[in-house]
Structure 1
C-alpha cells in the first residue's frame, strides 16, 4: 500500500522507518501498539474504509494500554467512483468512541503540517483526516478565527451552518444561495469538538444546522448539536444515513442531502 497511501518516496528515503504489513489493518494497529510500548511513535497511514477493520485493536491494544498512535486517514469522506465500499464515512463515528481521541479534519493542504504536529504531541490515539483528490475551493480569506474555530458571515446572520473539512466549500455556497443572513462555522479539530466556542458563535442564531460528510450516528454533528440543544439552541444535523451510493461526489452529495443546493433549501426554510 506504499503507492496507494503516498508513502513510496518515504519508503525510499527512510527504509529503516517504513513497515509495509500488506492489507492487514488489524495486525498493523496491534503492531503500532507494540512499537509505541517500545518507545517509538508509529504513524499508521490507512484508508478510512479499511480503518474500520481495526477498531478493536485501536481500542484494546493501543488506547486501553496507554499507548500512542497517529492515524493518517486517507480517503476520508466520499470517494466518488471508487464506490460504496470505499466511502470514508464511518471513521469519525468509530473514533468518537475511543476515550481521549484527538482528530483533525483540515480543509486545506497548508493545514496538514500543523495538525500533524499536534497529533504527534498528543498522548493516545490521534488522527489526521484527508480526502481523496484536491482541495474544494472557497474564499478562506473571508473567514475569521476564534480559538481555532473559523467563521464567516454572509449578511447579518440569523441562521448558522457548521461543518468541517472540504464540505466547507459546499456550506459556503449554500450560505450565498439561500437568501438569508448566514454564519458559516468551520471546525478544524473535530474530536473533541470545542463546544464552548461554537456556542459563543451560534447562541444568537434562530437555527443551527450541522452538515457532516459522514454517518449521522455517533458523528460530530450528533454530539455537538446535542450539546447546543441542552443550552437552548434550535439545532439539527444534515448527515449520511445508511450506506452512501456509487456515483460522482457531486451526485452522491446531492443524493444524501449535502450539496450546496440541498443545504441552501434547509437554511432557507428553517
Structure 2
C-alpha cells in the first residue's frame, strides 16, 4: 500500500515517521504527473514545490494555522494532502476540482487566487485579524519569486515591516516566472545563489553563528544571509528577519528549518530554492513549456491531440512580426508572458524592441505611454483577465492623453479549464466607457491580422481582444489591410431578425442562423467587428429589414456589447425588439470551452434556441 493512500488529511500526515516523507513526496510527484498528463494543468511549479508543501503541512497545524499561496500554480501537492486525493483526477474538469485555490472548495484553501502577488497582502490581513482577536495561530504566505515583481507584493512588504506581526513569508525561488525571470529583483535573487555569494555567506555565517546558541546546523545555514550579509539586506531594510537560501527540495532540511523558524517573532522571510519541474525530466529540461499544458504522454512528455489550426496567439505573433519588419518603431511589451502571448518570436527577432516588465501590468501600460510620447509605436500584449489591473493607467495615462498605445488582449472570452480567475469576460464592460479608446474583436484569425494593422494605423488608443485556442481555419491573406474604424459587415441578410455578433461569437451566430432556417426563421448576421465605436448605420439598416435584433457577445451582459446596442437604440429613438445574449451576472466556473459556451447559452444551438423562444 502506498503511503499516500493512507493520508486523508494533514493531521494524518503529521502522524507518520519523518523517514517516510521522501517516499511520500515521490508518490505525490508521480500522482501529479499521471493526473496532469490526462487532464492538463500547471505541472512544473507544482512538481517543484512538493517537498516544500509537504513540510509546511507536516510542521504547521493546518487548517488552524493559515497557509496562503500566491496564484495556486504551485499548490497541487497542497490539494492532494488536504483530503482531495480521491478527486484529484477531476482537476480542471467541469464540476471537478479547480486548478487554483478556492475558499469554498476546502477549509485548507484560506484564500483564493489565480492572479499573482496577492498572498502577502492577504496573509498580512489574516495575521492582523488574528492579533486583533487575541488568537495565537500561525500565518504563512508562500510566494514565488515571479510574484515578487508585482507592485502589490511590495506594498504588503512595507506595511508588514511597519506593523511587525508574527508571520512567515516563504519565498519559493524556482528561478523562473512562467518564463525565465527578468528585472532587477530577478538579478538580485540570482546573485544570492551564485557560488561566490553562497560560499562566502556560509563561511561568514559559520564564523558568526559559532558565537551564538540558536539551534542545529541547518538553522545556522538558513541564517547565513541575514542583514549582516549582502543577501538579506533588502528584506532586512523592510523590517523582516531573513533566512536562506535553503534547499526546498530536501524534505528533511525543510522540516528541520521550518520547525526552528516558525516561532521566531515578527515578520520573517525564508528563502527557499526549488527546481521547477523537479523529478520529471521533460519538465526540468523545458520548464517554460511544462508550466501549464494540455493532455500529454506521461512517458515521453509529448502533447496529445493538438489542433492543426493556427491559434489566435500564433496569428497575432506572425502578423506582428510582419508589421515590425516594415516599421522599426513598433515595440512590444509583455508582463512576464512572452510565450503565452506569442511575443517570444518578437523577442527573438527584435530583442532591442522587446520589453518584459515582469508581473507588473500597471507599469507596462504607463511605460508604453512614455514610449508613445516619443514617437514609438508600443503594443502591450497581456491576457484579458490581467488587463483589469491597469484600468487606471489605460484611462489616465493613455486615453486621457490620447496616446497611440495598442493593447493585444489574449484569452478574451471563456478560456476553459483555468476558470473564473482567467476568463476574459469583463474587458468590454471595463473599457467601453473610456473616451478616445477604440475596441475591436476579430471573428477569425485573418480578420485579426487586418485589425492589428488597423490598430497601428489609426494612431489612437486601441484594444484588440481575441480568444484562446485555435482559430476558424480560414486562409490568411498575404497582404494585411486597414479596415474602416467602427464599421461592421453583413455576412447574410434575413427578413425575420438580425444577429449582431462580435468576436468569436460570429461563427456560432452564422451556424445558429442556419439552424433557425430549418425552423422557419430567416435570420441575418452582422459581424460588428467594433464594440467601440459602434456602427450605428448598419444597425439602422438592419432595422429597416426587421425590428428583431439579437446581440451576441462573450462578455458579461452588464455594460458590454449588448448594452452598447441598447444605448444606441435609446439615444437614436430607434424602435427594436432586442434580445441580448452574453454572460449573466455570475462567475463562470471551469471546464472545456465548448462545454461552458453551451452552459451559458452562447453556443450555436443555444443561440438558436433563444431566438426561437423570443421571436417564433
- Structure 2 length normalisation: TM-score? 0.41
Given the alignment, which residue of 246, 252, 263 partners 2:596?
A: 252
The corresponding residue for 2:386 is: 50
The corresponding residue for 1:151 is: 490
The alpha-carbon distance between structure 1 residues 245 and 203, as it changes in their structure 2 partners (threshold 3 A), is: farther
1:217 and 1:125 mapped to 2: Cα distance?
23
1:224 aligns with 2:565: yes
1:48 and 1:20 mapped to 2: Cα distance?
17
2:468 and 2:492 mapped to 1: Cα distance?
29
Worse overlay, 193-202 or 225-234: 225-234
Worse overlay, 120-129 or 49-58: 120-129
The corresponding residue for 1:236 is: 579
1:163 aligns with 2:498: no
- Please list the CA deviations of residues 215-238 of structure 1 after superposition, one character each: whole Å capped at 9, or x if unmatched: 111112111133235311111211
Q: Contact 1:136 / 1:166 at 8 angstroms: preserved in 2? A: no
Where do residues 13-52 of structure 1 align in structure 2 (5 Å cutoff)?
13-52=349-388
- Please list the CA deviations of residues 81-136 of structure 1 after superposition, one character each: whole Å capped at 9, or x if unmatched: 12111111111111201102112211122222221122112233101112111124
Given the alignment, which residue of 82, 85, 89 partners 2:425?
A: 89
1:88 and 1:262 mapped to 2: Cα distance?
21
Task: Return the offset for 1:137.
Answer: 6.3
The corresponding residue for 2:96 is: none
Bigger Rg, structure 1 or 2 = 2
Task: Return the offset for 1:151.
Answer: 2.4
Give the total of aligned pairs.
263
The alpha-carbon distance between structure 1 residues 137 and 264, as it changes in their structure 2 partners (threshold 3 A), is: farther
Higher strand residue share: 1
Provide the alpha-carbon RMSD of the alignment.
2.0
1:97 and 1:148 mapped to 2: Cα distance?
19
Task: Return the offset for 1:264.
Answer: 0.8
- Please list the CA deviations of residues 203-224 of structure 1 after superposition, one character each: whole Å capped at 9, or x if unmatched: 3314111011101111121111
The corresponding residue for 2:192 is: none
The alpha-carbon distance between structure 1 residues 192 and 124, as it changes in their structure 2 partners (threshold 3 A), is: same
Worse overlay, 41-50 or 185-194: 185-194
Given the alignment, which residue of 555, 566, 569 partners 1:214?
A: 555
Q: Contact 1:73 / 1:130 at 8 angstroms: preserved in 2? A: yes
Where do residues 105-184 of structure 1 align in structure 2 (5 Å cutoff)?
105-136=441-472, 148-153=487-492, 156-178=494-516, 179=519, 180-184=521-525
SS in structure 2 opposite 1:11?
A: helix
1:6 and 1:206 mapped to 2: Cα distance?
42
Q: Contact 1:225 / 1:236 at 8 angstroms: preserved in 2? A: no
The alpha-carbon distance between structure 1 residues 202 and 135, as it changes in their structure 2 partners (threshold 3 A), is: farther
RCO comparison, higher one (Cα < 8 Å, 6+): 1
1:197 aligns with 2:538: yes
1:225 and 1:117 mapped to 2: Cα distance?
30
2:342 and 2:466 mapped to 1: Cα distance?
12
Task: Return the offset for 1:148.
Answer: 4.2
What runs of 5+ residues in structure 2 fail to find an aligned partner? 1-336, 475-483
1:264 and 1:3 mapped to 2: Cα distance?
37
The corresponding residue for 1:77 is: 413
1:11 aligns with 2:347: yes
- Please list the CA deviations of residues 221-261 of structure 1 after superposition, one character each: whole Å capped at 9, or x if unmatched: 11113323531111121111222221111221122111222
1:117 and 1:189 mapped to 2: Cα distance?
15
